[in-house]
Structure 1
Amino acid sequence: MEEHVKKSLEEWKCEIGELLKDIDKEYEEIKRELQVYSYKFSITKQVIQSTINEDIIRNIRELYHTPFEKRFNQLKEEIKDLEEKKKVFQMFIDKIDKVKGKESVQETAHS
């Protein structure tokens, strides 16, 4: 493989690596928020199940349960999207390494 190709692939790999770092950072932030909403949603669900008064239940649902459930589900979707992005960009890095690796092996065989 010619030097300029190697260099270009390496630069591209670094660029994708930076994207992956950003995705990982966002993933961790959303994961933490998802944990919080998982607890909030679970707690409100338990409180509703333990409450008899329908007015209080309706209040809790409006104030907490429904918004928490909505946010919880939204965060789960965001996590899934980020996992897919991570997988795709990791494939780029793997493919670049594979191409460079094959070329290195071929160059060594020709030497």
Structure 2
Amino acid sequence: MNSYVKDALLEWKEEMLQQKREIDEEYEKIKCDLQLYSYKSGITKQVIQSTINDEIITNIKTAYHIPFVEKYEELKQYIKELEEKRKVYQMFVEKIEKVSETEDNEA
């Protein structure tokens, strides 16, 4: 493989790796947020179940539980999107490596 092609592929691979690193960082942050909202919604659910006053239950649901569950579901969807992006960029890296190796072996 001539050096121009090899260098260009290496540069492209580094770009893909950088994109993947950024996605990985975002994934870890969202994973922590997802855990936090899981705890928040679980705790508010337990408090609601232990409360007998309907007005307090309604207030807790409105102020905390429903928003926490909605945020949890939103984060769950977002983390799925990030997982897909991670896979895509990993495929780029693997395909670039495979082409580079194939070309090196043929040279």
Q: Does 1:50 align with 2:50?
A: yes
**Deviation string, structure 1 residues 25-61 (Cα, Å, up to 9, x no partner):** 1111111111111100111111112222211110000
2:84 is aligned to: 84
In the TM superposition, residue 24 of structure 1 has moved relative to its aligned partner by 0.7
* Aligned equivalents of 1:62, 1:53: Cα separation in 2: 14
Runs of 4+ in 1 over 6 A off after TM superposition: none
Q: 1:105 deviation in Å?
A: 1.5
Structure 1 gaps of 5+ residues are: none
Match of 2:16 in 1: 16
CA distance in 2 between partners of 1:7 and 1:105 (Å): 16
**What is the deviation of 1:86?**
0.2
With the length of structure 2 as denominator, give the TM-score of the two structures.
Answer: 0.96
Whole-angstrom distance in 1 between the partners of 2:91 and 2:81: 15
Give the total of aligned pairs.
Answer: 107
What is the TM-score normalised by the length of structure 1?
0.93
RMSD: 0.8
SS of 1:51's partner is coil
Structure 2 equivalent of residue 106 of structure 1: 106
% same residue: 54
Q: For residues 51-72 of structure 1, give each alpha carbon's deviation from its aligned partner in whole angstroms, at most 9, with x where no partner exists.
A: 2221111000001001100111
Gaps of 5+ in 2: none
Alignment partner, residue 31 of structure 1: 31
